[in-house]
Amino acid sequence: MATGELGDVGGYYFRFLPQKTFQSLSSKEITSRLRQWSMLGRIKAQAFGFDQTFQAYRKDDFVMAFFKDPNVIPNLKLLSDSSGQWITLGFASGRLRKI
């Protein structure tokens, strides 16, 4: 899907922002607390941008469009409950019943 094209669901177009960093997850204090709670390495933050103003009354369309977007599926990381490994939504989608 080219930049500026409307997405298949809800008319949204999403783009993955892999260079976006989250200082709040990398500070010494937070890292220490995540380690204390056995969450270090088990939490990630990823950024995606979208091309329209968010409208709360269209939140269901927005969520459906996000999880079905071809730029989200291969990039969104999920922590597998069975293996404890990070996998992409694309890998996991075969196991998902309904999104």
| 10-55 tens-digit pLDDT | 688 999 999 998 888 888 999 999 999 998 888 889 999 999 988 9
Do residues 51 and 2 make contact, with C-beta atoms less than 8 angstroms apart? no
| 44-85 tens-digit pLDDT | 899 999 999 889 999 999 999 999 999 999 999 988 888 888
The pTM (predicted TM-score) of the whole model is: 0.69
**What is the C-alpha to C-alpha distance for residues 66 and 73, in angstroms, rounded to an integer?**
9
- Residue among 68, 55, 56 at smallest CA distance from 6: 68
Cα torsion through 11, 12, 13, 15, rounded to 10: -170
